[in-house]
A and B are shown apart, each in its own frame.
Chain A
Amino acid sequence: MTALVKSGQDWSFSLIEEVFAHIERIAKTKYGLTYYPNQLEIISSEQMLDAYAAVGMPLMYTHWSYGEQFIREQEAYKRGYMGLAYEIVINSDPCIAYLMEENTMLMQTLVMAHASFGHNTFFKNNYLFKQWTDAGSIIDYLAFAKKYIAECEEKYGIDEVEDILDAAHALQRYGVDKYKRPPRLSSVQEENLRKDREAYIQSQLNELWSTIPHTKDKATKTEEDKFPKEPQENILYFIEKNAPRMEPWKREIIRIVRKVAQYFYPQGQTKLMNEGCATYFHYKIVHDLYNEGIIDDGALLEFYDNHTAVVRQLDYDSKRFSGINPYALGFAMYMDIERIAMNPTEEDHNWFGKQDWVGCGDYIKAIKFAVQGFKDESFIQQFLSPKVMRDFKMFTLHDDEADSKYLIAGIHNSQGYKTIRDALAKQYNFGYMIPDIQVFDVDRWGNRTLTLRHYMVNRKPLEAESTTETLKHVAFLWGYDVKLESVDEQHNIRASYEVQEDETLLDVFLDDGSKK
């Protein structure tokens, strides 16, 4: 048979259909992948830029920050600083993948294998996605959100809505339930429930704030009066439900920001695994296509050209180094899993011990096991082998504020493997990277001050400027004074920030007693 895909060849609809059928056949019969139904959308480069700016979603509410993002991308693209992504894929049911008009047929093949099967199977099977996002209803929900926010703008003015969105965006990383699963809802249900919610919240609030002077004064405040009883990690949720005086529509907007943040939460925690999985499968499938003669030698070279650029890892001392490339490390780890499943070395046996998948002879099963049950942090703990660390020449840099020098805590040798693995896993741990800040207390009987607590890890302090700026947003939402305390592991308050509701007065007290 003559090859369908040749180097530099233009795509056509019939060709895409034909190649897609081949890819699907391979994905199903050879790898036994399960995935959402696919929807391929052909778009122009302009539309790709549009798609970038709206956090990749096909529809999104209006906000200036997306405009800024768009202008930034557009300028970078125009000046040639940045190539466009080859693809965007959306975790929805059906799974939408964008194919860019300018791509060659080989690139379209690569994108289909990467997005429509690699990412798609990850979305469908990874436990975090299964647990946290509802691929079936996200588009519906965004339609509701866009319409609702547009209506609010009409009713209350663009500025009012913008203020709320700005403030809620500042807290979006604290608008996520990390342990509870959100319920699934369609947009119609959503609209109906919204109305109930409005009425309900108002009644609850009246209850909470019905502070007909309690006879107790501050001194006799008991543990029972403490509110909230336990620290709350979902700050946005707390504010949405408990802010003393906030119009219902504002609560609804906070809720929208929360929901969108929740939807993206698993993506942030599985970036490495997800990109690795997609890259692994496009690599495998393109080779299968080549072996079957569906793509020719030239096209395979074109593929290598793109693939190697994608999985390139720059060294730490390179000028353009910007961290570990998730495509590179992810791809290397899945390839490594395949190797260990098929031909484990002595070292692998020692390192991984008695795990089922090591040397099991069925690499597809091992890969699927990895895809399903982990997030980046645990994925590294479980699967990062000494070989990959060696290939990447990894080392751990220990930075202690109290020490005038950096310490190389471990390098890619037998004494260092464990250090590197643990440090790298932590690097992918959200709880470790993002400051742990929770709602600690509300002065219910006094001036309604909201107190947040930052639980310090490894003595890492907050950056003062962004903290006070963010606190201003919190105070704006809460409507009363807001306080934030950094507490170390021994429960000593190390730093404290206060913002008055009118945003004009601001005091920062640091633990050395100085006033900034």
Chain B
Amino acid sequence: MAYVIIDRRQNDKKKSSTNRARYVRRVREQVKEAVKDIIRDGSITDNLSNKSKKIRINKKGLNQPEFQHDVTGGIRDRVLPGNKKYQQGDRIDKPPSDEGGGGKKGSPDGEGEDDFEFALSREEFLDLFFEDLELPDMIKKDMVSVTEFVMKRAGFTTTGNPSRLNILRSMRQAISRRVALQPPKRKEIEKLEKALAEMKAIVPHDDADAMNLAAGIENLELEIKRLKRRKKAIPFIDDIDLRYNRWEKVPVPTTQAVMFGIMDVSGSMGEWEKEMAKRFFMLMLLFLQHNYERVDIVWIRHHSVPKEVDEEEFFYSTESGGTVVSSALELMAQIVKNRYPLNQWNVFGTQISDGDNFSHDCPVARDVMEHQILPISQYFAYVEVDRNGNRSKSDLWPHYEALTNHKHFVMSKVNDVSDIFPVFRALFEKKGSTK
């Protein structure tokens, strides 16, 4: 009996991806909630890592119901293997009724039957998370550094490498050529050959007949020869039929952005304030990474003197002093000038502070912001953390407030952990028809 071995390993491996997407679509609302929880509770490093994110879904309402017997009711006999001590007629206690008579199978991993955990890929995760958020429309997305190329299909050519032969196209060309040239059909030749054979089999009555016959045979033979030659001259597939896939090198623009995290570490900023700042920076970073292929981060901490530091130092180093906001902004402008040419980089700034500032520095800060920072920034967000929410005005707030007509500038206040996400959303919410 015949058999076949087929190597399917090169086939599509993502056969289930449509079904998987359907499932995620179905549990979308639940997944979205879970995603928010993760962002809220996760650490920065966890959220930024490329690891897939675990999502726990409650399966209630997603079950596929079927008519079933109630496992406790009525009479039933069950045959079980592995008897050790029972004798016929023994009577044994039933397990407590809340266990459903032992009929419900516990899953081996001890997970509840209603709970279901699975991992979202980073892309799925961020897509859901940043759903209906967008970067403000003044982003210079077009300003890009061209560094990479990809090959793209671009029609067909008549010359090329054999490995790029497009069989379908080539055969189509061959067919139309053959149709146009109308090569003799094999059947036609066969018919003539049959006629020839029949003619040859005829025994002539007389000489005239024989001559006619010979002429006929000769004619036929010539015709057959001609047809065969013609048929041979029109090949099944010809060089001119060949079509090759054409590929073109297309530059891929890589978009890049730099984010400046500016935080006040003066004595007035406590652990709580820093924690809020950290969360906000994290969201900002995730969002930028979602939108740009390359994102650089510059951390600037400042009291009276600004300093560029790494993430570790930014969040954990203890240092404090007075507050001069303008100095940090000046440093930012300086760094941009030195390292991030504006024709290649989108610049984002996020400043987090409790709003304390030396009063004489406030107008300076505003001035630096307006004339040095905003002209070079795509977007600058100022977030003021105010734990008690009872302070009506900080030192800095009124000065920055005057800048809010600048469309590159937004500011907001955070009073509680739960504010972070709404504030973030409010800053980046899709705005009607800005495009």
Question: CB within 8 Å of B: which residues of A?
Answer: 13, 16-17, 20, 24, 35, 37-44, 46-47, 49-51, 53-54, 62-72, 74-76, 79, 81, 94, 101, 116, 158, 162, 166, 169-170, 173-174, 313-318, 320, 322, 324, 392-401, 404-413, 415-416, 420, 423-424, 426-427, 434-435, 437, 454, 456-467, 469-470, 473
Give me the 8 closest cross-chain CB pairs, A-B, nearest first. A315-B82, A67-B23, A460-B74, A67-B19, A469-B65, A316-B80, A459-B74, A38-B3
Smallest beta-carbon distance B368→chain A, Å: 52
Q: Which residues of A contact B63 (CB under 8 A)?
A: 466, 469
Whole-angstrom distance between the alpha carbons of A37 and B3 in the complex? 6
Q: Which residues of A contact B118 (CB under 8 A)?
A: 71-72, 74-75
Are B79's CB and A46's CB within 8 A?
A: no
Q: Which residues of B contact A35 (CB under 8 A)?
A: 1
Q: Which residues of A contact B119 (CB under 8 A)?
A: 75
Q: Which residues of A contact B89 (CB under 8 A)?
A: 407-408
Known contacts A46-B13, A62-B22, A81-B108; A459 and B75 CB within 8 A of each other: yes
CB contact between B77 and one of A38, A79, A397 (< 8 Å): that residue: A397
Smallest beta-carbon distance A14→chain B, Å: 10
Q: Which of A38, A67, A465 has the most CB of B within 10 A?
A: A67
Q: Decide yes or no whether B435 CB sits under 8 A from chain A.
A: no
CB contact between A460 and one of B7, B75, B83, B94 (< 8 Å): that residue: B75
- A selection of 27 A-B contacts at a CB cut-off of 8 Å is A24-B1, A37-B3, A39-B4, A40-B3, A42-B9, A44-B13, A47-B13, A53-B16, A53-B19, A64-B23, A64-B25, A68-B116, A75-B118, A79-B109, A158-B25, A170-B65, A315-B82, A324-B80, A393-B84, A401-B74, A405-B92, A408-B89, A411-B87, A411-B88, A435-B68, A458-B76, A473-B65
Are B64's CB and A320's CB within 8 A?
A: no
Whole-angstrom distance between the alpha carbons of A465 and B71 in the complex? 13
Whole-angstrom distance between the alpha carbons of A424 and B92 in the complex? 20
CB contact between A463 and one of B5, B14, B70 (< 8 Å): that residue: B70
Are B72's CB and A401's CB within 8 A?
A: yes
Q: Decide yes or no whether B215 CB sits under 8 A from chain A.
A: no
Interface residues of B in 10-62 (CB under 8 A from A): 11, 13-16, 18-26, 62
Whole-angstrom distance between the alpha carbons of A415 and B89 in the complex? 11
Are A426's CB and B77's CB within 8 A?
A: yes
Known contacts A47-B11, A101-B9, A406-B92; A412 and B72 CB within 8 A of each other: no
Smallest beta-carbon distance A127→chain B, Å: 22
Majority secondary structure, A binding face: mixed
User: How big is the B interface, by class?
Assistant: 35 or more
Are B91's CB and A70's CB within 8 A?
A: no
Smallest beta-carbon distance A412→chain B, Å: 7
Q: Decide yes or no whether B93 CB sits under 8 A from chain A.
A: yes
Known contacts A44-B9, A170-B64, A462-B67; A320 and B108 CB within 8 A of each other: yes
Closest to B103 in A: A399
Whole-angstrom distance between the alpha carbons of A479 and B112 in the complex? 35
Q: Which residues of A contact B6 (CB under 8 A)?
A: 39-42
Are B116's CB and A72's CB within 8 A?
A: yes
Whole-angstrom distance between the alpha carbons of A500 and B327 in the complex? 71
Smallest beta-carbon distance B71→chain A, Å: 7
Are B70's CB and A462's CB within 8 A?
A: yes
Smallest beta-carbon distance A83→chain B, Å: 13
Are A458's CB and B16's CB within 8 A?
A: no
Q: Which residues of B contact A44 (CB under 8 A)?
A: 9, 13
Whole-angstrom distance between the alpha carbons of A434 and B72 in the complex? 15
Q: Which residues of A contact B81 (CB under 8 A)?
A: 313-316, 324, 392-394
Q: Which residues of B contact A469 (CB under 8 A)?
A: 63, 65
Q: Which residues of A contact B82 (CB under 8 A)?
A: 313-318, 392-393
Closest to B69 in A: A460
Q: Decide yes or no whether B205 CB sits under 8 A from chain A.
A: no
A sample of 13 more A-B contacts (CB under 8 A), given A13-B5, A396-B80, A462-B68, is A20-B3, A38-B1, A38-B3, A39-B4, A39-B6, A170-B66, A322-B105, A398-B76, A401-B75, A405-B92, A409-B77, A410-B88, A462-B70
Closest to B4 in A: A39
Are A411's CB and B83's CB within 8 A?
A: yes
Known contacts A75-B118, A401-B72; A94 and B4 CB within 8 A of each other: yes
Whole-angstrom distance between the alpha carbons of A11 and B13 in the complex? 21
Q: Decide yes or no whether B73 CB sits under 8 A from chain A.
A: yes
Are A466's CB and B1's CB within 8 A?
A: no
Known contacts A63-B19, A66-B19, A67-B19; A461 and B74 CB within 8 A of each other: yes
Are B16's CB and A54's CB within 8 A?
A: yes
CB contact between A41 and one of B8, B26, B68, B73 (< 8 Å): that residue: B8
